[in-house]
Chains A and B, each alone.
Chain A
Amino acid sequence: AQSVAQPEDQVNVAEGNPLTVKCTYSVSGNPYLFWYVQYPNRGLQFLLKYITGDNLVKGSYGFEAEFNKSQTSFHLKKPSALVSDSALYFCAVRGYNDYKLSFGAGTTVTVRA
């Protein structure tokens, strides 16, 4: 069975500081990893994904994520956070030929001015 863990319910950072949201996964075979963001009263928006190749993946709004196979992690990062980045972030994993996309419980990010 595949699963995702987001160990932090909440992350608080000051505007302009680096932002990291942690994610670890478990899946059989090669993982397909995704990050989504959800703003209040909205659906999930796709940020970025890892399929294969470079371990550092760049996505929307200045976000990037680093895939680490040995640590089974896929942490989301942003060098300089903005107040508008305050939202709920979800990590997700999917196995090859699997319909199911398994999500973590989410991490609430608050960026203070």
Chain B
Amino acid sequence: ETGVTQTPRHLVMGMTNKKSLKCEQHLGHNAMYWYKQSAKKPLELMFVYSLEERVENNSVPSRFSPECPNSSHLFLHLHTLQPEDSALYLCASSQAPGQAFYEQYFGPGTRLTVT
């Protein structure tokens, strides 16, 4: 596997379910990100991890819980979601998160539908 991978690619869940999204980067980066992409809206940054430490949390509801066990893996745990949480969830990674000139590399995303 190369680049950034995400599983599952598609997920349908009820509002009372608990599920997790997984992201893995094979680029040797030390920063990882979760974004939410909704139709006709700019990408929304949710969480940033630098060397497994959360450095940014953009006022995301507690029903989204991130976990970064090491610099290659990132999870997003989902619980008691709402229909408006249906979106494409993108994971990204980069080198040196504090250095603005490094580009981010994105995974293919998980298409989440909350019923």
Q: Which of B42, B56, B108 contacts A104 (CB 8 A)?
A: B42
A4 to B45, CA, bound (A): 14
**Inter-chain contacts of B21 with A (CB < 8 A):** none
| Partner-contacting stretch, out of A11-19, A78-86, A91-99 | A91-99
- CB pair A49 B103 closer than 8 Å: yes
Q: Mark B73-115, 1 if CB is under 8 A from A, else 0.
A: 0000000000000000010100001111101111111010000
- CB pair B42 A97 closer than 8 Å: no
**Inter-chain contacts of B97 with A (CB < 8 A):** 99
- Interface majority SS on B: helix, strand, loop or mixed? loop
Which residues, 1 to 38 on B, are CB-close (under 8 Å) to A? 4, 6
A94 to B106, CA, bound (A): 16
Kindly provide the distance from the CB of A97 to the nearest chain B CB, expressed in whole angstroms. Answer: 6
Q: Which residues of B contact A (CB under 8 A)?
A: 4, 6, 40-43, 45, 48, 50, 55-56, 58, 90, 92, 97-101, 103-109, 111
User: Could you write out 21 A-B pairs with CB less than 8 Å apart?
Assistant: A32-B101, A34-B103, A36-B106, A41-B108, A41-B111, A42-B108, A43-B90, A43-B107, A43-B108, A44-B92, A46-B103, A46-B104, A46-B105, A51-B101, A90-B43, A96-B100, A97-B99, A99-B56, A100-B56, A101-B104, A105-B42
